[in-house]
Each structure stands twice: as C-alpha cells, then as structure tokens.
Structure 1
C-alpha cells in the first residue's frame, strides 16, 4: 500500500508539474536566500575571527584605554608584575597607503616588540624575504606585509600617510597574519613614524598558570580609563554589529519561504478539489482517511524537497558569487577588507533544506485534512467536491489582534523577535479572514450589477465560491503584502536619509582627509593648513570637524566622537525633539539614537561614560539626533569644549562656504594647490560638493538595498505566477460549466468576458487585501523593526503612485491570466464535455 501511495503521489506531482512549479520556485527562493545569507555571514565571521586571532594571538587579557592611548609607564608596571608571564606592547593604527596605481587604500599598521610578541601571537612575527637582514624587524621605516597587503601594495617600497605627509617605508618581508591589508613593524619605529612617542594602543597580557584574571585585575588596580577585554571580544563585537543586518536579511528570506507555503496551500487545495472523486474512489477501494491525509502530505513534502534541494544549490552559488564580488561585506560595510573563502556546512544545508520541507508541509496540512474528511459516497456522485466553506474566522481576527500587541513589545537580546512574530501573524490573520472580506465586498457589489448578465455571473461566482477565491489569491496576497511593505519601508528610509543629508550638508564644498574613521588619528589637517585654506579667494567661511573613536565598552564596537562647530544646534543637527538648556558648569553633548538604546543615554541626564575618555567633567545630554551612518553610536560635542578638554588640535573634515559669485571648480583647484604646496601631494585630501556627497550617499543606499529591490520583483512574479496556476486549474476544471453556458446561448466571447471578469473580481480583492496587509507590515517595519534592530527612527512615507501601480499590475495580470486560461477551456471540447453527465 505504501508503494501504491508513493507511486500515486509521484504521478500526481508529474501531472500537475506546471502548476506545482510555482510552489517549488517560491520554496527554492526562500531557502536559497536564507542559506546564502547564512553562508556569507558564517564565512565572513570565520575569516574575521581567524584574522583577529592571528593578529591578537591568545592572551589572557587585552588592556586598552578609553582615551585611545596607553602610556608606556603602564607597560613597565604590568610587565614586571610577578603574576604576569608575558606582556606584549602593541601600537595599532589605521592609516592610508598608496597603491601601485597611485590611489589610496586603508591599511592597518601593528607596531610590536618582536622579542616578546612571538610568545603570544606567533603569526605576527615577521619573516624576512630571501637573504635579508635578520634584524630588519628592529630597523626604522621597515614593514612586513600580510597576504592581503601584498595583493594591493608595491612589493619593495611604499608610502604611508602620517598627518598630511607621505612617509616612505621599505618592505623587508612578510607576515602570516590573516584578514585585511596589514603591515607589521617594530613598535619603536611605528611610534617614531606616526609621532606617537611614549604611546601604546594595547597591552596583551598572559598571566602565570593558576592566576585568576578577576583577582589579578583587582590587585593591580588599573587606572580608571583602562579597560580589560577578553581576547575574543573583537570577533564578538563585529558579530553583534552585523547581527541585526543579517537577521533582517534572513527574515526577508523566510518571508519568501512563508509565501511559498501559501502557494503550496493554494496548489494542493485546488488539486484536492479537482481530484476529489479520485480520492473518494481510492477510499472506497480501501484507502483510509489517514492514508489519504498522508498522500497529500507526501505531495507537499515532494514539492518542499524539490524546492529545498534547488534552494540549497542556488544559495550556495549566490554565496560564492557574493564572496567573490563583495568580499563577504553583505552590502553593509561590516567586514571591510576581508576576503573569505566559502565555508560550506552540510549541517546548515540540511537544516535549511528541512525548513523548506516543513514550510511546504505546513502549506499542505489543510488540503490534506480536507482530503481525509471527504464524504466518499457524495463525492463519487459529484457532490461535496468543492473547497471546504469556512464559517468562523475568529482565529484570524485573534491573530490580527495578537500582532498589534506583539508590535508593542521590546526586543529580546537586541533582536525584535516580537516584531517579527507580529509581521507573521499579520499575514496569517489577514489571509485567514480573506474569505469573509471577499463575501463582504461582493455582497455590496452584487446589487449594483443585478441587471447586467455578464458582470452578474462574475460577481455571483466570487460571492458563492469565496473560499475558492481566497485560496486562488492567497499566494498573491502574501507576495503583494511583502512587496508593498518593502516598498514603503525603503521609500520611507530613503526619504528620511535625503532629509537627513539636507540638514548635515549645509555648506558648498566638503574636504576630508581619511576614507575611514579608523584612520582619523593618522590622516589629519594641521591648524596652519586650515587657516591657509580659510584665507583662499572665493572662500567665505570654513567650519572644521574632528572625528575620533571612543572605546567606551570593551564588549561593544567603539563610539564615534564628532567635535564640530555648534553655534546653530537646531540647524546643524537632525535633532529628535528640541535641544535642552545646559546647566551651569556642565559640558553639553548630543547623542545619536543608538546611544540611547545601547548605553542608556537620556536627554536631560548626565553621561558619566565620557569621563574616562575626556576627563573628569559632568557631561550633559542636551539633545538626541538621528544618525544613519554609525549604528554603534555617535556623540557630538562643541569644538571649543573639545579643545578645552583635550588640547587636540587635529582636524579631519572641512566645510567650506563659498563667497557670492565664486566658482566651486576654481575654489577646489585652489584648495588642492594649497594642499600640494603644504604637503607635496594634492591627492591627500578628498574634495566634493554637497550635491556630489548627497549623490554618492544615495548610491550607496541604493546598492545596500539592491537585494530588497530584487526580492520585491521576485515576490510579485511568484505571486502572479501562482494566480496564473490557480486560475488555469480552476478554469480547466469548469469545462462542463462553460459547455452548459454555451448550450444556454452564451457565445465564446461572452464566456471569456465572464472568466476575465472573475479574474478581475478575485485579484481586486487580493490586491486590496495585499495593500492593506502590506501597509500594516510596513508600519511594524518602520516604527518597530528598524529602531529595535539598527537604533534609528524614520518618518513613514507612502509612495501611493508606486503602490497603486503594483496593485494595478496584479489586477491586470490576473485578468489577462484568467482570459488566457478561459481560451483553453471554452472551446469546442467544452460543449462535448457536457455529454459526460448524460
């Protein structure tokens, strides 16, 4: 009997392959996207963690300062401690190097003491090339390149940027450290090259066997600004930073899989309704209700297995292509410079494949229940073969209510799990009440067309077989809801970013010295050069900005400090709410929304975390602002306060306002000429107009959301393909009905008009339901998921033109599909099919 079931199930899958391909495609899409995101992230994280281990070794503790630099005196104290086995000083810098083509690229420089670093990080110890001097590691202006650096930098001599100067260094060998471009050199040489005499970035400490880390830290009583981090914190910080981005990508993929489950439901529900008499005959021949249920579930499992197998293969190919083209960066900039190899996991492939099969079987559960509960005698007579009529939709309304409650809950471990469940319940609940919505709509339309035959036939069928209509359009409702939600979310985000740029880009020209925040301490402008630029003809006013990283918490990525002019706070920052007056004797700061979520910074309250970084002062949070760049948090402080507290006169960015009538091109040329006169190289800075900066930012935004745009198109395509499959199946099953209508006097053209009208009627309700559900999902994405995931807010924007175009495309496609399917069924064979009942 089991072999009979398997054979019969396979024959049915083959018979309906052209319709089942829709469900298989949807399952494949969901599995492929989810699996590819997993592979890309796992490969990038593995490579990053391996690079961090090779560059940092395996110490028991890493000592760092919240101020950014450790004094060498602390190293002497730690190294001579009796409970310390090895202490390795490290100067870690990010700077810019000139490539063989003359362009600048970001590189990391590690200054180490080769005599002790080998005991903690042996892969960092350089290897001298050929017959070179074995003591070259101790030589000044000498570096050793890792594999990534060798691929982009000259092999013998290269130039590194220090301030506004390019310093030439000699390449003496290689290093086995992994990760992005890395240069290893003697720590004393690095201090001299970059003007960091007496400064360290970190101290790697390995304790004597048996020494407890917490007890040692308590005994040595480190200075207040010194942080002790675990050696694995670097990988953990990046993992946490990228987690929200990859979780959102995975959820989008699972929503596609969710759509596939609805398409499986649609295909199997219509298939069971069409084969009801065959299933009843099998029941009379001895097939039990349980076996009929297993039969339909086996069909859904076959669909899921086919989609999952294809999805795993396609996902692997997508991941390999992404790693090759993007370097595992996921489009979000979380793994710069990392070029990982694909880390394929059989366990993960099996897990995601099983997820696709489960989704398909969930979609096939209700049709299987219907097949098991068929009344055999009535079904054999042609009665009771339609889809089950739902009379109660209480569960659907409960799901919608629960979705609203879940959207109000906070995130769990930084992930908006409740919000994701809210999105799922919105879709499930909305589609569950769809039959009631179909009936309610067409009960009101029916009286309007009561005296017009063809519209009456189309509307009455939609009313009388509302369950069939709901099944037919459930897939497109799910797909359209996803497309509408993503359209609204992306449009809202893009408009919010555009408005944000308008506030942050008030000047005419912008100059920056570094292409990354990490290099801001090594690539900077001197006060003399800033003064010289401000006096150029055509320049009316100049404002400066200092960019600096602050490691406030060793378990989290560094926060960015921006010291800038704050004469007009409301006009220069996109504040959320108004700025507060500052109490006397306190230093005002303005924190990004991420600081509120991650560090508990509150408007109107002090921020004691800054004391370790900027000195023992009371810092008052005078306002909160939106920042769509730095997900880890940013703090703005007035430049005058920063100079008074730190004495740091370095400048990283310039804003230039032009004099009336001045030419932007001429001013740019004068600035480059002045930079060349002061540094000998005009290309040590980047200049751009406000429109160029805005355009580049929006291009980066569009590139980051390219996957989302593609997913929208695919979701709509799959949904329309599902409608085509459903309509075609139902129309072909109604050949006798069409034959009877022709016997009653309707022409073939009129029958096709009725079928097209039914298609329009069904897809109209599907489009309206998809639009309503999509807007509900968009509200959750914009106001809940994004703030909880990325710690920023945005304004909701409804692009009605695009949304109505999406709905219109669905309605037109559904109508055309129904008309084309009707042409195949309303021919000469339809008249002859009536004889089957005579």
Structure 2
C-alpha cells in the first residue's frame, strides 16, 4: 500500500505541477518570512552582545557609578579590598571614527592600564605592528604589555576598526564634538564592532577625564564573593556592582517587544499559507473524486484515502519548508545589508551585523511549515475519508462536508474576547496574540452561516442566471469555507495591519504637531555623537538676536531608575511658572493644584506614559530622581544626589521607548548649577506683513544660527517641518517590513481563491453540460460562474473586513499598550479598505470566470456522458 501511495503522489505532482507549486509557494513564503525575521533578530542581538563583551572584557564584575564618572581615588581602594585578585581601571568612551570613506562611524575607545587589563581580557593586549605575527594564544598565556602600549599618543585597533580605516597609519576620533588624530601603534585581537585601545593616562588627558574613571573591572580571588567584596569596599550609595553583560541584557529587554511583535507578524504569511494548502487540497480531492471512489471500490479504505491526502500535504510542507529556509536566509542577508539588524526601528543600533544561521531555528521553522501544510490538509483528508465510493462514481456524492454548528464559531469568538483580557506575561501579550488566531478561526468557521445570511434576501431574482447563481451559492455554502477561507484570513490580517499602521502614523502626526510648536530647532542630530553635545555661547547669543520672539532651552540627561531596566531620558526644559501646565500631549493632565514650593525639597516631574508604565507611576506618586552633583568645594567629594519629586501629569512620547521624565530647568539649575544646554527651540517674531516677509525673517535667523555653529560641530539647525518629515521617514522605514507582510499575505489569499474556485468549477463539468443541454449559452454559463465567484468573494471580503477591524482593535488597544506602553487613537482609512475589498471581489470573479472558461469549453456531450 505504501508503494501505491507513492505512485499516486508522483502522478499527482507530475500531472498537476502548477497546482502543487501554488501550495508549495505559500508554505515557502510563510517559512521564509518567519525564518528571515528570526535570523535578523538573532544576528542583531549577537552583534550587540559581541560589541558589549568586546568593550566589557571578561571580569567577574565591574564597579560602576550610578551616574556620571568614578573618582580615580576609588581604584586604589578596590585594588586593596580583600577578595580582589586584580583590579583594572577603565575609561570607556563612545566615539566617532572617521573611516576611509570620510564618514564618521560609531566605535568605542577604551583607556586601559596595559600592565593589568590583559590579565582580565587577553583580547585587549596591545600588539605593535612589528610583533603583529605573535599568536593570540601566546598573548593569553603571557600577557606582557609592549612598551609602546604605554605611549599616551598611540591607539591600537581591532580588525573591524582596521577595515574601516584601510591602510591609514592615523585615526581621527570625534568625542564631545571635538576631533583629535592619533597614530596607530598596532592591533588588538578583540572581536566585534570597531574597538580602539590606548593608555589610560592618554585617554584621561586627551578627553578631559583626568582624575575620573568610567569603571573598575574586578577579577575575584578564588572563593571570594561579589557581595562580600562590595560590602568591604563600602563605597557608598553612588557606586554599584554591575555584571559584564548588563548592557546586553538591557538592550535585549528594550528590543524584546519589537522583536516578538515582528516575529508574530511574520507568522501571518505562514498562517494564511496553511489556508492556501487547505484550498489546494480541497481542489485536489474534488478533482480526484472519481479516482478516489474507484480506489474505494477496488478495496482502499477511507483511512487509507485519508492517509494519501495527508501524505500529499506533508510533502507540500516539506518541499515548501526547505525552499522557505533557503529563501529566508537570502532575505535575511539582504535585509541586514539594506536596513540593519533592527529593520530601521532604531532599537538595536545602526550597525550591519553578520548573519547568524542556526540549525535548531531552521529545524523549528521547517517543522512549522510542515505543520501548517498538514493542518491545511486535515479537513480535505477527512472529506476524502468520508466519500461513498459507489455514489461518487455516479456523481451523487462530493467531498464537501456539512456546516459547522454556529455555536462552535460563536464559542471561538467568545474565547477570543476572553483571551484579549489576559494580562501580559513578561511584557509580552501572549493572550492578545492567541486572541487574534482564535478570532480568525471563529470567523472562518462561520462562513457558511454568513453566506446564507447575506444572500438570503437575493433569492428569487428574475434573471435566471442571477437566480441560479444565488441559489447555488446558498445551497452549496458549505463549500464556501474552502473557497474563501484563505482570503478571509489574509484580508482580515491585511486590514488589521493597515488600520494599525494608519492609527500609529496618524497619532504620530498629531503628536509631532504637539511636541514641535516652535519654528526652528537647534540640536545635535540623533546618532551624530555618542556623548553629550552642548551648544556654545555663540549659538545661544545668535538665538537671542533680532527676529526671535522666544527661546526654550533644553538639556538631555541619561538616568538609571532601576538596574534591571533600560536607562531613561531626563528632559530638562524651560517650563511655565506658577500653576500653568506645559503644552504637551497629555495622557493624565496636571490639575490646578499649585506645585510644591521651591523650599519644600519636592520637585514637579512629568513622566511619559512609557516610563509611568515601566515604573508603575500614577499621578500624585512620589519618586526619586537621580541628579549629578554640584561642583564640590576644594577637597570635598562630589556625590550623586537623588531629589524627591511628585508626579503631576503623564504625557505621550513616541520618541523614546525606554521612557522619559520631564522636569523644569529652574529646578535643575537650583540643584546642580549646570547651565549647559544641548538644544534650543526658537519661536520667530510674528509678522503681519506678507508671507514672504516671514519667510525672509526665518531665513535670516537660520542663517545667523548656522554661522554661529563651529565648522566641526555636529549641531544642526532644522525647522519644525524638516523634523516632522524626518520623523515620518523613520516611521515609514520602521514599518517597511509590515508592508511586505501585508503584500505576501494578500497574495497568498488571492492564490487560495484561485485554487478553490478551480476546484469547484472543475468538479462541475457535468452540471455545465446539463445547463447547456437545457439551453444555456456558453456566455451565460461563464456569467453564472463569475457571479458565484463574485458572490462568495463578496462574502469573504465582508467577513474579512469585519474580522480585520476586530483584530485591529486588539492590535491597537491591547498589543501596543502591553508591548510598547504606547496608546493611540484608532484611525480607519475607508478608501484603502474599500479598495482592498473591491479588489478581492474582482479577483474572485475573474478567477472563477477563467476557471469556468476552461471547464465550459469542453464538449457538451462528453461532459454529460461521464455520468456513469
């Protein structure tokens, strides 16, 4: 029997290659997209972890400040603490490296003690050019630093940095807005992104870090424990112990929601691909009814017929899975080159990581592809099992089943509603994802009932072709599930993604209008410099000149509110005094209660909704805000302070996924005395004259500001319109992959329509012959078929649109707040949705007409004669 099954499978694939290719393509596309997203995520995280490990080395732990820098005096205390075998002082700087292409590339510079650091991380051992042939193994066994590593004017580069520099013997670095050039003394063996090492004294001198350290790396003595060492050190609350992979863990948490959402969305194609397999297998079973019936008469049992269809589905899944893995690998490699590891989202940096291919992941997605194909062939296989062989040979039986009880579909929808209320687990809305899948299954199971309900009023039409089309569409509604299941699944998901993206984009536009009220902005562009960039006095003076009505100073500070969460951004701005609230897009607006007086020691702060969700803050709560210390008096020790603050309101911020906290600049100056400014918002003088005069005034102010910016400074001058356009370009780039998912899902759904209607039409050759014997013309038969295709497609489009809107509510109101802690307003684009619905109806009618053209073209006598 196994040999017979193989022969029948081979015959099916040989005689109907295009039909099988449609199913294989659906599975392959689904596996390819899902596997590509997994490869992209894994590659980006691996690259980031490599960069962190290369810059952090391999200590047991590091002594770090809670904010700012460590005092160099602490190093000696750490080195002498019981339980410490070795202590290595480190200056860690994010720099811009000017490559051979003339562009600035992100890199890290480590200032190290060459006599100690290689014992903790051998990859940091400086190897002069003359001794570059020395082996890394030898360097690890005896990390003796060459004398050139102690030269404060030399830097040593790893392979990635050397690739950026080419054959140059000097390197130009940008730190804190200033560029400096250094001679290249040799290389280091550390892997990962561009990394440079120099003597710690040189780093302190050249980059204004004299007397300060970024951290102290610690290697423990055998048997020593981190807690005991920190307790003996007793460095105070401003110093903490940090794990070497702390940054990697924070980035993994920060990007977790984005990565999981992208992975789940990538399974959309695989999900709809399963429905296409369902349609193709329904076609195969419908076309092979005489063959299956004959096999039944000859002794093949129903279970064996079911196994035959299942084997065909598994073969489709295996071939599609293998093709999907190859295509997914190619897609991932291309996406990493074009968009980077975060597909333009900005969560994992702008580097281009190397592809990390994983065998276990490949097996997992291959298995998913096979499982989706098997699931798609489940019901057609059961239909083949239930054939009555003798009746089927007479054309009195079909492979179609009966309607599902309506209670099943309603029960699934009720279950979906309950799943939407399930709280997230580890910041991932698993309940909402399950809700989407169950909701789609419930809606698709109701297709026959929806067909009967929507077409009930069209029975009894005067036109015989229309009356027959409606009557058959209603009477054979159980076959509609196979015909439109794919398009309902794909269209609903496409509609849901369309509404979600439109809602987010429209909310972003409204938000930009609220947060960009000024005419001109002076700032450091994102990614221009890893360190803070402050505006020089000349720029501040230029912003206060003629043509300017108002300026608002701003300062950005990175703060750590919880060790296990990403660093938040402290926004220090000029805010209205008294009871007036800042003009912001409020989630929870401040009330008329006067703010705490300045001498109360309690500040007024305004967390973003993301920060409020991460820190579980609500209006009126008291929180601790870490602030840098004032400049200490001579001989005194600077200590980080923590100010008490009351939450007066919560506002919407789409720019910072890690959260932001707004405070008044007056409070900042009073507590820190730091008057440096990193950005300005400039309002121009209102003009009552012609618009050209206002334009001329804007041009003059912008020209004056640009003239005040130093030539080598990364500061940019931009209008509110330019910033708005830039933000929308970033948004569109981040959601580019979503549009690809929409296109693929819709294409799979339309392919399902084609396969299903072909199945229905090819199984009705005798019916068409009988109609033509009764006087129907060939054109009337084609009109009948096209009308049925349009009717079923219209039902599928209506159900798909309704389910899509329901799914979009889940995505906008549940998934986004639970994953990203962002809320937004629903925005439904009626024109786009109408176009999608009409396109599906047209495609269904056209497909049915094409299938009917082939079936109705057969000889009428021969078609009727086939009735054995």
Which category describes the TM-score, using the shorter chain as reference length?
over 0.9
Q: Which of 469, 475, 486 is the matching residue for 2:497?
A: 486
State the match for 1:653 in structure 2: 679
State the match for 2:517 in structure 1: 506
Structure 2 unaligned residues grouped into runs of 5+: 133-144, 630-639, 688-693
State the match for 1:589 in structure 2: 605
- Give, in angstroms, the shift of residue 296 of structure 1: 0.9
* Separation in structure 1 between the aligned mates of residue 652 and residue 191 of structure 2, nearest angstrom: 36
Q: Which of 651, 668, 675 is the matching residue for 2:702?
A: 668
Task: Assess if the C-alpha contact under 8 Å between 2:528 and 2:714 holds in 1.
Answer: no
SS in 2 for 1:314: helix
Q: For residues 722-737 of structure 1, what are the structure 2 equivalents within 5 Å?
A: 722-737=752-767
1:308 matched to 2:321? The reply is yes
- Give, in angstroms, the shift of residue 714 of structure 1: 1.9
State the match for 2:634 in structure 1: none
State the match for 1:474 in structure 2: 485
Q: 1:728 to 1:215 in 2, by over 3 A?
A: same
1:31 matched to 2:31? The reply is yes
CA deviation map 1:558-587 (0-9, x unaligned): 211111122287554222121244344321
Task: Assess if the C-alpha contact under 8 Å between 1:472 and 1:723 holds in 2.
Answer: yes
Task: Assess if the C-alpha contact under 8 Å between 2:287 and 2:762 holds in 1.
Answer: no
Task: Assess if the C-alpha contact under 8 Å between 1:66 and 1:552 holds in 2.
Answer: no
Q: 1:496 to 1:830 in 2, by over 3 A?
A: farther
1:170 matched to 2:183? The reply is yes
Task: Assess if the C-alpha contact under 8 Å between 1:510 and 1:655 holds in 2.
Answer: yes
Q: Which of 829, 836, 843 is the matching residue for 1:799?
A: 829
1:560 matched to 2:572? The reply is no
* Separation in structure 2 between the aligned mates of residue 112 and residue 726 of structure 1, nearest angstrom: 68
Task: Assess if the C-alpha contact under 8 Å between 1:503 and 1:571 holds in 2.
Answer: no
Is the deviation greater in 317-326 or in 567-576?
A: 567-576
Q: Which of 137, 148, 167 is the matching residue for 2:160?
A: 148
Task: Assess if the C-alpha contact under 8 Å between 1:29 and 1:253 holds in 2.
Answer: no
1:598 matched to 2:614? The reply is yes
SS in 2 for 1:833: helix
State the match for 1:126 in structure 2: 126
Structure 1 unaligned residues grouped into runs of 5+: none
* Separation in structure 2 between the aligned mates of residue 195 and residue 360 of structure 1, nearest angstrom: 63
CA deviation map 1:291-334 (0-9, x unaligned): 22211110110111111111001001111222333342332223
State the match for 1:318 in structure 2: 331
- Give, in angstroms, the shift of residue 99 of structure 1: 4.5
State the match for 1:265 in structure 2: 278
- Give, in angstroms, the shift of residue 623 of structure 1: 1.7
Task: Assess if the C-alpha contact under 8 Å between 1:742 and 1:831 holds in 2.
Answer: no
* Separation in structure 2 between the aligned mates of residue 455 and residue 284 of structure 1, nearest angstrom: 39
- Give, in angstroms, the shift of residue 408 of structure 1: 1.3
SS in 2 for 1:91: strand
Q: Which of 380, 390, 393 is the matching residue for 2:403?
A: 390
Q: Which runs of 4+ in 1 moved over 6 A?
A: 611-614
State the match for 1:642 in structure 2: 668
Q: 1:599 to 1:609 in 2, by over 3 A?
A: farther
Q: Which of 243, 246, 264 is the matching residue for 1:233?
A: 246
SS in 2 for 1:210: coil
- Give, in angstroms, the shift of residue 607 of structure 1: 1.6
Task: Assess if the C-alpha contact under 8 Å between 2:404 and 2:446 holds in 1.
Answer: no
SS in 2 for 1:203: strand
- Give, in angstroms, the shift of residue 517 of structure 1: 8.7
- Give, in angstroms, the shift of residue 474 of structure 1: 0.5
Is the deviation greater in 139-148 or in 198-207?
A: 139-148
TM-score (norm 1): 0.94
Task: Assess if the C-alpha contact under 8 Å between 2:276 and 2:751 holds in 1.
Answer: no
Task: Assess if the C-alpha contact under 8 Å between 2:553 and 2:677 holds in 1.
Answer: yes
SS in 2 for 1:767: helix
1:573 matched to 2:584? The reply is yes
Q: Which of 541, 545, 570 is the matching residue for 2:554?
A: 545
Q: 1:622 to 1:129 in 2, by over 3 A?
A: farther
Task: Assess if the C-alpha contact under 8 Å between 1:65 and 1:551 holds in 2.
Answer: no
- Give, in angstroms, the shift of residue 701 of structure 1: 1.0
SS in 2 for 1:32: helix
Q: 1:342 to 1:182 in 2, by over 3 A?
A: same
* Separation in structure 1 between the aligned mates of residue 541 and residue 188 of structure 2, nearest angstrom: 41
State the match for 1:607 in structure 2: 623
* Separation in structure 2 between the aligned mates of residue 225 and residue 531 of structure 1, nearest angstrom: 33
Task: Assess if the C-alpha contact under 8 Å between 2:44 and 2:353 holds in 1.
Answer: yes
- Give, in angstroms, the shift of residue 32 of structure 1: 0.5
- Give, in angstroms, the shift of residue 261 of structure 1: 1.0
State the match for 2:785 in structure 1: 755
Task: Assess if the C-alpha contact under 8 Å between 1:607 and 1:620 holds in 2.
Answer: yes
State the match for 1:618 in structure 2: 644
TM-score (norm 2): 0.91
Number of matched pairs: 830
* Separation in structure 1 between the aligned mates of residue 625 and residue 290 of structure 2, nearest angstrom: 74
CA deviation map 1:31-88 (0-9, x unaligned): 1011111222222222322232222111111222222222223222211112111111
CA deviation map 1:508-530 (0-9, x unaligned): 12222353397243x3224x234
SS in 2 for 1:110: strand
Q: 1:499 to 1:176 in 2, by over 3 A?
A: farther
- Give, in angstroms, the shift of residue 391 of structure 1: 4.6
- Give, in angstroms, the shift of residue 664 of structure 1: 3.2
- Give, in angstroms, the shift of residue 241 of structure 1: 2.1
Task: Assess if the C-alpha contact under 8 Å between 1:34 and 1:352 holds in 2.
Answer: yes
- Give, in angstroms, the shift of residue 835 of structure 1: 2.5
State the match for 1:2 in structure 2: 2
Q: 1:815 to 1:467 in 2, by over 3 A?
A: same
Is the deviation greater in 629-638 or in 476-485?
A: 629-638
